[in-house]
Chain A
């Protein structure tokens, strides 16, 4: 009996191996990938349309996907250097400040002795309540956090600056350096425009500090909060009620404690004749044929991607053409090395539209559609801000239709869900009383789509 079981195991193992090999062989020929080893990030490049009609020029999309590797069970996670910046202005009185304190205390519990923690509160002035310190004396940290009371106006810019200063004290490329901002209100002392806060985010990102922003309640400035997160490559969360804070905090710390790579730099060099047009959903620098962008970090088992729209010149049927080379460098948190990944893309031409259709990469196309739908969703918010409610509604309805069409064609559940969401938003957008809430939700949803946020 044992013998047959053993034999069965061998056969199963071989079958799996064969299947795996086959699977690898079935991968699109034009994509060269580094196989996913246990401790390297996974680079996935592809074209939405690997085959295009020979008479052009035509536009298509390049997708560059990066996935964080799985951490080994016994591997130590990347130590954390986090500053929590809490708005304690008058509007936070009551349940909000209580829940915020709770969330902060919970964060302290999830960190361990190798992590650095600091706590900054601000109203019209800033107080560094817990200067950057190792988590050795939880009691005194807890006491400091519990002693916070709400009052005053809001100096958001100064609060974040002080938080960043605390993180800077122990700034290390081998740590996850992060500021988590919790605010329920507008910034009314100091710099307060989204572009200013965005510029601050960009400057901090250069240092390797990301800012995650969590908006609490219905009165915070969501544009400001999203812009700060966007430019610093942090996350953005919306806690409608104070009770949501704990959940969001947990999710954020889930990300923070799962960073596997940092300082991820992506360079795309387009071949001659290929014209890079724009990057969807992310910031990138396009200079001539070169597209440069970066990510501050990658989380374990999460994919973040770039979509680059390119214009391809006409070509001869059957001929392949080089589209671009992709160069990714990053700091590997597990091996503590600087790793490099490369990829390249090619396109081939055909006369047959059917072939083009058949060869369409449905997944990439779905990702493209999602980004385009997000752009439309943003347009709807702009229109509504201008008071053009009916036009906004129409944009959302059109968007819902566009998404539904593509959902069916591409067999994408994700697009289907988005379609339903847009429809609901179209329905609610006319109600004045709901707009504050809806706008925050929309901004949150847009950011989540653009950045593939996990929560």
Chain B
């Protein structure tokens, strides 16, 4: 029983822990995702803030370009002066409503810088690209409305946009080329080419430097251009070369080919994954494990205490029975002596003595049953075979019961057909028969009849003795046919009032029968009960004792 108990114990403790572990893991995973997402949101917010600053810078530049006073078209000298002096623009052009170039002036010698500019803006002059000039013209692809930051739509143009303007973005060899165009009242379009390098240098000038950030803030912002090259970076953290950004964001138009990246040291990212939860979780697991373990241990102790108590009771009973046996044997012996001594003529005394003998035999049987039962649980029972005749044994037992049977007016019919000398355990056999016949006397006395048949068979070299005991009592109901063989089971019978019993008789009888190589079964009978006892009885060689 022990290993089974240990296994059960462990199962009780481990099963809930495993379940808890499973659920806990799922929860931790989910929480990790939530925290990660929260962390990412934080990073993205920082990026969006920075993008906002950069966008503000761009808007400031746009406002400047929009409000800039530009001389009218044929004032070439003034226009050139403007280009020379204004630090934000590199070159400028003026286009007539018909798409003709007004500045740099056609048909006049141009400086090298102006020639290069025309080359850069080649797509505009060869008619492959048109700026918006009239409401019914199709809107060019890469034009942005600076107010709404979305590509211009025809409907917007027709509306109250006082001076349409936008960005014309081109990718030249050295990078992004930004031309801010605006439509003048005259219908001319002015295009102001932003000095890209100056723009970048100014932007860097406006963005934070690393000194002004607290040394404890270990993060890094990195700005990349369209080609993916790092243009500027700031922050107190130095990520390893190949590390990917923890979060990134494309800037708002017109710089939407540029990208802002955000780096944080790994321990920040990991900390976001709720190490704390794991600790709490393990603690909970431990607590539950301890709790369940203690509970299981408690129950185990309780049950083993009960078992100990039970076994104490049993051994007490056995002890008592054993103690009773000796004085009882004396009583029986002297009673039987007395029975022999009393004169036959003294029928009253004879009768009294026979009752004493019979009752003391009954008591003896009872004690014997208890002791057998105890010995059987402790596996101390062994066969003690000796040569003898079954029929003789049967006769003996019947004789023992005679007074009781006569008292209850039970007629005995014996068909004895087991005369062969065989080896068998007399005490054992006697006990079985005693239990069976005792049952008839106790429960089936109303039927008034006890039938005993015996026979012997030889089959395949084995000898079997079969004894049948039948009565005409109330019989045994179908649902109780197996139960009656269980220890301590008694059919609650109103019919046999006053009958006593321990409920172990049939259990013992069957057990002993099986030890003797046989069995005890209840035969199907409609009239009363019929038991068949089989015993293995090897033939005895020679003498009868």
A interface residues (Cβ-Cβ under 8 A, vs B): 120, 124-129, 152, 155, 157-158, 160-162, 164-165, 168, 189-191, 195-196, 199-200, 203-204, 206-207, 285-288, 292
With A189-B230, A189-B233, A287-B110 already in contact, the answer to whether A126 and B209 are too (CB < 8 A) is: yes
Known: A191-B200, A206-B86, A287-B110. A165 touches B211 (CB 8 A): no
B458 at the interface (CB under 8 A from A): no
Instruction: Find the residue from A155, A204, A206 having the highest chain B CB count within 10 A.
Output: A206
The 5 closest A-B pairs by CB, nearest first: A165-B205, A203-B198, A127-B211, A206-B87, A161-B204
Say whether B108 contacts A203, CB under 8 Å: no
B: residues with CB less than 8 A from A are 80, 84-87, 108-114, 174, 195-198, 200-202, 204-206, 209-212, 220, 229-235, 238
Partner of A128, one of B112, B195, B211, B233: B211
The total of Cβ contacts below 8 Å across the A-B interface reads 91
Contact in complex: B84, A292 (CB < 8 Å): yes
Complex CA–CA separation, A157 to B205 (angstroms): 11
- Contacts A155-B232, A168-B205 aside, 10 further interface pairs with beta carbons under 8 A come to A126-B211, A161-B200, A161-B202, A165-B202, A191-B197, A191-B200, A199-B196, A206-B198, A285-B113, A292-B84
CA distance A124 to B212 in the complex (A): 16
Contacts of A157 in B (CB 8 A): 200-201, 204
Query: Contacts A161-B204, A287-B111 given: A203-B210 contact, CB under 8 Å?
Result: no
Closest B residue by C-beta to A289: B109
Q: Which of A162, A168, A189 contacts B209 (CB 8 A)?
A: A162
How far, in Å, is A150 (CB) from chain B's closest CB? Answer: 14
Known interface pairs A162-B209, A285-B113; A190-B232 also in contact (CB < 8 Å): yes
Contacts of B212 in A (CB 8 A): 128
A124–B221 CA distance with the chains assembled, in angstroms: 12
Q: Tell me, rounded to whole Å, the shortest Cβ–Cβ distance linking A448 to chain B.
A: 25
Is the pair B210, A125 in contact by a Cβ cutoff of 8 Å?
yes
Q: CA–CA, A313 to B198, complex, Å?
A: 42
Q: Is the CB of A162 within 8 A of B205?
A: yes
| CB neighbours of A288 from chain B (8 A) | 108-109
Option from A152, A165, A195 in Cβ contact (under 8 Å) with B206: A165
- For A161, give its contact among B111, B196, B205 (CB under 8 Å): B205
* 25 residue pairs from A and B, CB less than 8 Å apart: A124-B238, A125-B220, A126-B209, A126-B211, A127-B209, A127-B210, A128-B211, A158-B232, A158-B233, A160-B201, A161-B200, A161-B202, A162-B205, A162-B209, A189-B230, A195-B174, A199-B195, A203-B87, A203-B195, A206-B84, A206-B86, A206-B87, A285-B84, A286-B112, A287-B80
Contact A161 B201 (CB under 8 A): yes
Known: A168-B205, A196-B174, A206-B87. A125 touches B197 (CB 8 A): no
Most buried by B among A127, A161, A168, A195: A161
Q: A287 is contacted by which of B87, B109, B201, B211 (Cβ under 8 Å)?
A: B109
Are B113 and A200 in contact, CB atoms less than 8 angstroms apart? no
Contact yes or no, B230 A190, CB < 8 A:
yes
Please give the distance in Å from B508's CB to the nearest CB on chain A: 96
A161 partner residues in chain B, CB cutoff 8 A:
200-202, 204-205
| Inter-chain contacts of A165 with B (CB < 8 A) | 202, 204-206
Question: Which B residue sits closest to A127, measured CB to CB?
Answer: B211
A207 / chain B contacts, CB cutoff of 8 Å: 87
Residues of A within 8 A of B113 (CB): 285
Distance between B219 CB and nearest chain A CB, rounded to angstroms: 12
CA distance A429 to B109 in the complex (A): 42
Shortest B108–chain A CB gap in Å is 7
**Minimal beta-carbon separation of A256 from chain B (angstroms):** 22
CA distance A165 to B212 in the complex (A): 14
- Contact: B210 with A126, CB < 8 Å? yes
Known: A161-B201, A285-B113, A292-B84. A128 touches B209 (CB 8 A): yes
User: What is the chain B residue whose CB lies nearest that of A288?
Assistant: B109
> Is there an interface contact between A164 and B201, defined as CB atoms closer than 8 Å?
yes
- The closest CB in chain A to the CB of B110 belongs to A287
- A207 CA to B198 CA in the complex, in Å? 11
